A and B are shown apart, each in its own frame.
Chain A
Amino acid sequence: MLQVAGICKRFGSTEVLKGIDFELSAGEFVGLLGPNGAGKSTLIKILAGVHSYDSGSIHLQGEPVRNLAATPLVGIIHQDLGIVDTLSIADNLMLGASSIDKRWGVFLRRHAEYEAAVSALAAVGLSVDPAHLAATLSPGEKALLAVARLLGLGAKLLIVDEVTSTLPPRDAQRLIETLTGATEAGATVILVSHKLSEVLAGAERAVVLVDGHVAADTTVAAGDRTKLMKLMRSGEAAEARSRRPHGTEVRARLKGVATQDVSDVEFDLRAGEVVGLTGTSGSGMHEVALALAGVTPVLAGEIEIGDEVRTALVPPQREVHGSIESLPMGWNLTLSSLRRWRRGGTLRLHSESADSNELCERLSIVPPDLAISLGKLSGGNQQKVLFGRALLQDPDVAVFCEPTRGVDVATRAEIYVLISSLAEKGVGILVATSDAEDLFAVCDRVALMSSGYMSSLKEIDQLTDQDLLEML
């Protein structure tokens, strides 16, 4: 069906893909795994025709192709699903299907479309009225709708790119079951994920990318699972974590905290320790983090935190919640701590930039030019700027959401060192991440979030295999 050979890609001086080879036969369900930054999304973007590649070849059903964008045989579902909320479900199914015969060549045959929609939806196990707006569907149902649409357009190869990571576990499971059903009907599926458990639930084979190359291409039979679990924890960044003797002083105590999507969260955050929360992004772990940082209202329960305790936050989605890309990097850095440079009502700009320059050097932000727009920096450097913003607040409690999302391997290591050194200074740190590597690299105690509930915290080295399987 699909043959990918020797794909290499570099961005500037960074080699992101170092020769990717894999094959796919018709009817297979393959999981494409790997930690954040391993090159998964670059590979998918190359297949989708978003990026070009430097060398290598792609064959589809034996024919050499430049990428998979032009052919209706391949359907790619991205995280945003491509569903238009303000159209009806039936109209969403028809998006991109131009060849329906129209009355007098102009008018749509709404009845025929409606009936076609009902059967297309039934094929993916959705029993909803196609006349309703797509906005009425749950995220999981929208994902199924996206599958139905692509199958309806004649796709034989489905590439599902990190879609499951934004779905609640039950919806993710339903999607995977539907995809399994589709392979039985003859379709071929690539499920891209950084969660081992999801791939194990549906795929017959797993291709693991680590640091730009294929680290494993293996069946998911019981014997191979241990190997896969090891691979997913690769890098063993645990080196960055020194065993910190953490104090007993409680910096923040969450008592039965509930927000809009979270209930009954309870734990203590002690000085000098790093608590890790993991789960999918729909699991509520980010809400817990944002509530602790004081930016999401707490509806029930209580967060006990001293009045003079300073909190700092690195938000989950850099582009949406963190970076102000049009403004200078320096302004982004100091935004939360301008008070530091205020004397008699005005800001001392010279001392602000002197301090910022020093921080840039310490975090090795490239380019170290305070006046340059933040948007011109790479993702990794933008993330460092957000960490810089948090550091300048001199926090007692630091909340880091997805600290290594979309950063390269080198920056990832720097961020781990940074978090560890903060903890050594006695800062209480909460890390909410969907990337298991973060947990093993820096966290002392971890818990799993699922559908708004939190499991109890466990010391990182006392996790059982079952815990690991759920978290990875």
Chain B
Amino acid sequence: MKPDVETAAISPSTTSRQAGLSLVRSTGFVSSISAIAFGLVFIIFGLWLGSSFLSVKARMLDAHANTPVLLVALALAICLIAGEFDLSVGSMVTLTAYLSVGLVVNQNWPMWLVIAASLAVGVLGGLANALLVVVMRVNAFIATLGVGGILLGLSRVYSGGTQLSPTGDSPQLPDWFSGSEGAFGSFQTKTPTWLVLTTLVVLVVAIAWAHAGPTISRTKRVPVLVGLALSVAVLIIYGSSIPSSVPMTVAFLLVVTTLLWLVLRYTELGRYLYATGGNTEAARLAGVRVRAVTTGAFVTSGLLSAIGGIVLAARQGSASPDIGVGFLLPAFAAAFLSIVIFSSGRFHVWGTVVGGLFLIFVSQGLIVGGVPFTWAEVLNGSVLVAAVSLSTFFKRLSGT
């Protein structure tokens, strides 16, 4: 028999030591810590480096430069939510970046067809992963590692292993896609200010509405308040320069994240993804079509990675052999940080984006402060390990 020991641990404690413990145990405390840590990074680096760190333009540039990595992190988050691994994402980025540039430069395809083809490759890669994992029941770790090897190899075959960029007499990437101001991939192309402001207002209202209902527990109010206070503080410090300095790529990332969040939160599919990841057999017996759900997760992951590759091509205007290889580690770190951020104890798309930005800002802060950029991987690795350890530790504390 299983006694009510857990229930007893949750009931209000009387002694102060127990009260302290239950504070640590409450998920609200954990997420507040992560919110505070995020704020602390800005304060510490701000004090240390002054305006060179607190510049909106510099941080936006970070976000712009890392949009493809963050898209890959979202791809991983979707897979991890469904309880699977996808190690093929980095290679998918490399392959689709090559295709996005090469099909124009070498094959002279129209851009819309190139984008469609790249997305199709993303879907096919996801289907290949799903075929191996869902149908043939190969361990996802091995299957996606192998598929990733194939994708990376194909990109080498296609490119001959060299860098690929438009030359003087080859067809050029369209101006709206890549290039100087006005192109999607350019940092100079800002999202219209009115659009940013409207979106901000809509988001705040949506968040307030989502959390006003009976779904919010007492423990969640703390992080919501802390988050709101932080955003207000940031807005006051930065003044009005944010709404006018959001690059197209970052806005695009936020749109993708919002869409994923809406699907995860407000559709049956989202619930089924979480249920499949939580306990596949239980989900199956509860009537969830777990194989279809897992397949969907892999396909989404492939699609998001392909989008990452396209955005990367737009940003760089070229593709090179090792372009997406280093994406896996920071993307994993961002996805795992989402467990700690926002207290949910689950993988989460907003947490992934915020966690990814946190990582990027910390490593940029260190680089600006004089640490050689070669240390970035050390930092990413440490954060991944620390995030996983922390979330495991807090889960144990809270008795799950």
Contact = CB atoms under 8 A, between A and B. Distances in A.
B8 A408 contact: no
Given A13-B4, A366-B7, A346 B275 contact: no
By CB atoms of chain B within 10 A, which of A290, A326, A342, A381 has the most?
A326
Given A326-B400, A327-B346, A375-B400, A315 B215 contact: no
B400 A376 contact: yes
B279 interface: yes
Given A295-B284, A324-B283, A338-B268, A381 B7 contact: yes
B274 interface: yes
Contacts of B274: 327, 331
A323 B282 contact: yes
Contacts of A378: 2-7
Interface residues of B, number: 42
Given A327-B346, A349-B215, A376-B399, A295 B285 contact: yes
Contact of B213 (A324, A326, A350, A377): A350
A313 B282 CA distance: 11
B287 A324 contact: no
A370 B215 contact: yes
Interface stretch (A35-43, A87-95, A123-131, A262-270): A35-43
A327 B275 contact: yes
A321 interface: yes
B220 interface: yes
A376 B5 CA distance: 9
B215 A335 contact: no
A372 B343 CA distance: 11
Interface in A320-354: 320-327, 330-331, 334-336, 338-339, 342, 345-347, 349-350, 353-354
A320 B7 contact: no
Contacts, number: 146
A39 B3 CA distance: 10
A16 interface: yes
B160 interface: no
A369 B362 CA distance: 37
Contacts of B285: 290, 293, 295, 313, 315, 321-322
B397 to A, nearest CB: 12
Contacts of B267: 345-347
A42 B10 CA distance: 22
Nearest to A327: B278
B2 A373 contact: no
A279 interface: no
B15 interface: no
A162 to B, nearest CB: 12
A84 to B, nearest CB: 20
Contacts of A327: 274-275, 278, 346
Given A39-B1, A326-B278, A327-B275, A377 B7 contact: yes
A389 interface: yes
Nearest to B1: A37
Interface in B262-312: 262, 265-268, 271, 274-275, 278-279, 281-288
A16 B1 contact: yes
Interface in A373-387: 373, 375-381
A357 B214 contact: yes
A366 B5 CA distance: 12
B7 to A, nearest CB: 5
B16 interface: no
A325 B395 CA distance: 12
B5 A12 contact: yes
Interface in B1-58: 1-11
Interface in A295-329: 295, 313, 315, 320-327
B282 A12 contact: no
Contacts of B286: 313, 322, 335-336, 389
A379 to B, nearest CB: 3
A150 interface: no
A11 interface: yes
B191 interface: no
A325 B278 contact: yes
A324 B1 contact: no
Contacts of B281: 320-321
B3 A408 contact: yes
Given A336-B286, A349-B213, A353-B213, A331 B4 contact: no
A12 B268 contact: no
B215 A353 contact: yes
Contacts of B182: none
A471 to B, nearest CB: 21
A377 B285 CA distance: 21
Interface string B357-398: 000000000000000000000000000000000000000001
A407 interface: yes
5 contacts: A324-B278, A336-B287, A371-B215, A373-B400, A378-B7
Given A339-B268, A378-B5, 4 more contacts: A14-B3, A326-B278, A349-B213, A376-B10
